[in-house]
Amino acid sequence: MFGRMNRRYDTVVVGGGPAGMGAALGALDAGAGKVLVLERDGEAGGILNQCIHAGFGLQYFREELTGPEYAERFLAQVIDRDIDVMPSSYVTGLAVDSEGTKQVRVLNERAGLASIEAASVVLAMGCRERTRGSIRIPGTRPAGVLTAGLAQKLVNQKGYLPGKRVAILGSGDIGLIMARRLTLEGAEVVGVFELMPYSNGLNRNVVQCLDDYDIPMHLSTTVVEIHGRDRLEAITVAPVDAHLQPQLDKARKVPCDTLLLSIGLIPDNELARQIGIQLDPVTGGPVVSSTLETSLPGVFACGNVLHVHDVVDYVTAESLRAGGFAGEWSREIRRPKDSIQLVPGNNVRYCVPHTLSPDREHTVFMRVKQRVEPARLRVGGLMEKTLRFVIPAEMISLKIQPEMLDRFHGDRLTIDIDPA
């Protein structure tokens, strides 16, 4: 698996996390002959390798697994099916010649700088965390301010406790999970402070990671200043008004030696931006057709590099489809062009994919802007569905059948989610 890198592949997958491994398997299932996975870390698995908590695989495997267990199941399939995996490999560029062949430029610690020819490429680079610089918290720059994902890696993989009295800004899932993890390791979590009037994590994580451990979450509250010179000594927090502006007259100081930032994830799309792929300003990921093909023909995208998912099982399902279409492309199989644009309507923040074709079933992912309970989901005049509740933190998936689209005669299909 980790042998000599060939110079030509049918499909090259950039990223060896759950999306990348799923895409590689999907490409092979669709008939691609040689498939290569390029992974920048020293081993495949991506972020799952540091997620030692359970809760993965409930939908795909119908059982509860830890992150490493989930990754291992796919890695075993990749090995068994002779998919090449090159760890410690950095993709530095991608070029397309006049005949549509892709040249993937790779820097590998053993092979050096190489150019790999591919008929199709799948982007599966995942996402990264927003940092303090993204939100410009005023104050000094002491040690003890770090992202929740870095803290997770330090604790779970390096055996290092980043602090003893911890505050968490933002209620993303990694932050919620780390609140529980640090509590179990003996640290005191003084609170989770969330700018929005609702949690940005899965409801199950709020219950299992905060409520079960009596960790308070302060909604509509943010950090307005950081104190400390060499080491963090305290933060100042303040409630925000309806316009999300801090009410400084109600601010208070909270002593702590560590501040974890769980303020959102961003698709890791420097490569896509570099090669001129069209990006969605809402998701931060590529604009894709119903085959998950980007604006660059023969280049596909899936997983968190396309849009940030909340459940890895969704990543797997999406990446298997993307890999399948990439495998077809490598065999010169071309699907019909999409004829329907999917439009986010009332209370819908985004929809992926961005276009549809009436020739097959589609899985559409979306997020809402505001909580609605109960909710009515409407797809044009084609279907209605009642949902018990919808919240911004939890992604919604919807199957759209070809017989539904056969009844649609326009070119713009709008999805609305309103109060029921």
Res 272 pLDDT > 90:
yes
Domain boundaries, the chain: 8-128+266-335, 131-263, 342-419
Question: Can you give the pLDDT at residue 1?
Answer: 44
Question: Can you give the pLDDT at residue 5?
Answer: 66
Q: Name the pLDDT band for 225 (thresholds 50, 70, 90).
A: very high
Q: Name the pLDDT band for 337 (thresholds 50, 70, 90).
A: very high
Class of domain 8-128+266-335: alpha beta
Q: What is the mean pLDDT of residues 178-205?
A: 95
* 72-105 residue pLDDT tens: 999 999 999 999 999 999 999 999 888 888 999 9
Q: What is the mean pLDDT of residues 349-355?
A: 97
CA 252 to CA 268: how far, in whole Å? 36
Q: What is the mean pLDDT of residues 396-417?
A: 92
Q: What is the mean pLDDT of residues 280-287?
A: 97
Q: Which residue has the higher pLDDT, 324 or 203?
A: 324
* 10-58 residue pLDDT tens: 999 999 999 999 999 999 999 999 999 999 999 999 999 999 999 899 9
> For residue 270, is it left (φ>0), alpha (ψ between -120 and 50) or beta?
alpha
Question: Can you give the pLDDT at residue 64?
Answer: 93
Q: Name the pLDDT band for 65 (thresholds 50, 70, 90).
A: very high
Residue 213's φ and ψ, nearest 5 degrees, are: -115, 15
Compute the radius of gyration of the chain from its Cα atoms. Answer: 22
Domains 8-128+266-335 and 131-263 share a fold: yes
| Percentage of the chain exceeding pLDDT 90 | 87
Res 109 pLDDT > 90:
no
Q: Which helix (H) or strand (E) holds 370?
A: none
CB 374 within 8 A of CB 386: yes
Q: In whole numbers, what is the pLDDT of the chain averaged over residues? A: 94
Class of domain 131-263: alpha beta
- Please name the fold of domain 342-419: Immunoglobulin-like (2.60.40)
Amino acid symbol at 172: G
Q: Which residues of 293-328 are buried (b: 16+ CB within 10 A; e: fewer)?
A: bbebebbbbbbbbbbbbbbbbbbbbbbbbbbbbbbb
Q: Name the pLDDT band for 133 (thresholds 50, 70, 90).
A: confident
Res 116 pLDDT > 50:
yes
Res 2 pLDDT > 50:
no
Tell me the pTM. 0.94
- Please give the torsion angle defined by the CA atoms of residues 3, 9, 12 and 17, in that order, rounded to the nearest 10 degrees: -30
Question: Can you give the pLDDT at residue 4?
Answer: 56
Rounded (10°) angle between helices 173-184 and 148-156: 40
The DSSP call for residue 338 is P
Question: Nearest to residue 194, comparing CAs of 168, 161, 229?
Answer: 168
> Which tokens sit at 186?
């003996």
CA 348 to CA 344: how far, in whole Å? 5
